[in-house]
Amino acid sequence: MHQRYWNQCMLIFKDNLEGTTFKHFFEPIMPINIKQNILTIQVPSQFYYEYLEEHYIDLLKKTIRRVIGPDAKLEYSIPVANKTGKKSEKVVLPSSPVQIKLANPPAPIADQEKINPFVVPGIKHLKIDPQLSSEFSFANFVEGECNRLARSAGLTIAEKPGETAFNPFFIYGESGLGKTHLAQAIGIRVKELMPQKIVLYVNATKFRTQFVDARLKNDINNFLHFYQCIDVLIIDDVQEFEHKEATQRTFFDIFNHLHQRNKQLILTSDRPPVDLQGLIDKRLLSRFKWGLSTELQIPDYSTRLAILKQRAYLDGIRFPDDVLEYVAKNVVDNVRELEGAINGLLAQATLNKKAITLGLARSAIERLTKRTKHEMSVDYILQTVSDYYNMEREEVLSNTRKREIVQARQVAMYLSKHFTKTSLKSIGVQLGDKDHATVLHAIKTVNNLKETDRHFKVEIEELETKLEYH
């Protein structure tokens, strides 16, 4: 019965939709059953569910009521990958307020109580939400030469948190290579194996904001007590602690308390510990060097292709093999850009009512590459800084010791680190053939001047605005 109803609905959809849209978003839908005028359909992924709800909810509602009856309702069933990589069933609540009935949502990780982890509890053994995204599991983390050591260490830690030599576990690498994914995957696995463990993921900026609020409210003791209750503490982007002396001292106390009690610490950064020059508390820097530091590198071609295939599978999207191969060969910097390229390609095909072909992929990737290279290259930043200070590029790159020129070059180095994924060594080579240490010194100098010179801070903010909105 449900198949017959759905076949009638599909005829209506086909008459009302452009061919590419029908093929990509309606053909993959499968009817599951119908009970009491509630039709259950399976969509390939959360992505499909959200897209249908946003763009085609009126068509869906009118069609099922026309075919089944005025009281007809709709349920979605969504397959998700479990920890073995196989798909199981779940259902989700709708994102739109339409009158369509869906089944109950899935339970959160470890079926635990959802409480804001940043509200100081003052209560021992409080259940908290670990702030983990189920999307960032080991099942979804594609292994390659670029991350094999880090992934292996992460699995070992998850089985015995705080009991291995990998404490702290310091994961570093450039933006978009999977640091957050791996760190959260460890937390997810810990909760699967040991639900009683208190796990918490928090970005370093959020940690500092909560610390500042606690100081203003004279509530530091409760703040410390909360973090000292954690069994597995994951701090993302610890480079944000640079030049924040009070935050560093407080985190040092938390670090020591947890480490001495064999609690697991997992830290991520865009640089290895030795390059975190803004850590004023050198004791904290020494702690970061304990345990294991491991780098996530840019994935090679075979790993990039595997990532794209898995992303397409999890999202339930059909891409021709030659399209995936082309994207894998031409988007090489990081995983985030890979996934962004695929999402952009799908959106372009749908909005422009075109089939996903190799030609469309070439056009989309070429535009993406041109835009990225033009807007976010060290050379472009150099030209922007030179124009702002009314200097010639050659002056900024020269070996003169004139204060204003040296400062302009330091600003260019600082902005290059902030706006590009270029290594410190490469930034130095492109900006006057300077070494790695000179670039680090420039970044530190600019940060210090921003805190002490209001006029200079305004200059940096104006330059950042020019680069962000060019």
- Reported as a single tens digit per residue, the pLDDT across 346-362 is 777 776 677 777 877 78
Q: Is the pLDDT of residue 6 over 70?
A: yes
Q: Find where tokens 């639900």 sit.
A: 195
Owner of token pair 């040092």: 252
Please state the rounded mean pLDDT for residues 131-157. Answer: 90
- 454 against 265, higher pLDDT: 265
What's the pLDDT at 109?
38
Classify domain 378-468 at the CATH topology level.
Chromosomal Replication Initiator Protein Dnaa; Chain: A; (1.10.1750)
pLDDT, one tens digit per residue, over 281-292 is 788 888 888 888
In 3D, which of 164, 470, 106, 433 has the Cα closest to residue 290? 164
Q: Which class is 138-295 in CATH?
A: alpha beta
CATH topology of domain 2-106: GMP Synthetase; Chain A, domain 3 (3.30.300)
Identify whether the C-beta of residue 353 lies closer than 8 Å to the C-beta of residue 20: yes
Q: Are 296 and 263 in contact (CB under 8 A)?
A: no
Q: How confident is the model at residue 323 (pLDDT cuts 50, 70, 90)?
A: confident
**Could you report the per-residue pLDDT of 191-213, keeping only the tens digit for each?**
999 999 999 999 998 898 888 88
The CA distance from 392 to 385, in Å, is 10
What separation in angstroms does the CA of 24 have from each of 15, 16, 309? Answer: 15, 14, 16
Q: Which of 133-147, 259-273, 373-387 has the lowest mean pLDDT?
A: 373-387
Name the strand (E) or helix (H) holding 259.
helix 245-260
pLDDT for 407 equals 95
The rounded percent of the chain whose pLDDT value lies above 90 is 30
Strands 264-269 and 232-236: parallel
Confidence of residue 113 (pLDDT cuts 50, 70, 90): very low
Helices (H) and strands (E) in the chain, counts: 20, 9
pTM metric for this prediction: 0.57
Contact 162, 262 (CB under 8 A): yes
User: Per residue in 143-153, pLDDT tens?
Assistant: 888 899 999 99
CATH code for residues 301-373: 1.10.8.60
φ, ψ for residue 303, nearest 5 deg: -70, -40
* Spatial separation of the C-alpha atoms in residues 47 and 343, rounded to whole Å: 10
Pairing, β 199-203 against β 73-81: unpaired
Average confidence (pLDDT) over 36-60:
81
Q: Which pLDDT does position 10 carry in this prediction?
A: 92
In this prediction, residue 368 carries a pLDDT of: 62
The string of pLDDT tens digits covering residues 409-433 is: 999 999 999 888 788 888 988 898 8
pLDDT tens sequence across 430-445: 898 888 889 999 999 9
Query: Does pLDDT of 122 surpass 70?
Result: no
Most confident of 77-86, 257-266, 296-305, 375-384: 257-266
β pairing state of 87-90 and 264-269: unpaired
Supply the DSSP string of 28-92, one letter for each residue: T-EEEEEETTEEEEE-S-HHHHHHHHHHSHHHHHHHHHHHT-TT-EEEEEEEEE-TTS-EEEE--
What is the number of other CB atoms lying within 10 angstroms of the CB of residue 99?
9
- Judge whether residue 386 has pLDDT over 90: yes
The predicted model gives 389-394 an average pLDDT of: 90
pLDDT at 373 over 60: no
Show me where the domains of the chain are located: 2-106, 138-295, 301-373, 378-468
- Mean pLDDT for the stretch of residues 111-135: 57
Unique residue bearing structure tokens 């535009």: 367
Residue 83 is encoded by which pair of tokens? 């920890």
Distance between CA 40 and CA 74 in Å, rounded? 6
| List of residues 6+ apart from 430 with CB closer than 8 A | 378, 379, 382, 416, 422
d(CA 116, CA 349): 40
Which token pair is 273? 């510990």
Question: Is-contact 453 421, C-beta < 8 A?
Answer: no
pLDDT of residue 369: 58
Q: For 248-274, write each residue's pLDDT tens digit.
A: 999 999 999 999 999 999 999 988 888
CB atoms under 10 Å from CB of 49, counted, come to 22
Q: Residues 6 or more apart from 240 whose CB is under 8 A from it?
A: 203, 204, 205, 208
Phi, psi at 113, each rounded to 5°: -65, 135
The residue ranking higher by pLDDT, 295 or 423, is 295
CA 259/CA 25 separation, integer angstroms: 50
Evaluated on CA atoms 121, 126, 130, 131, the torsion sign reads negative
Question: How much is the pLDDT for 125?
Answer: 44
Q: Report the mean per-residue pLDDT for the chain.
A: 81
Cross-strand bridge partners of residue 33: 40
Residue spans of beta strands (DSSP E) within 62-189: 73-81, 87-90, 169-172
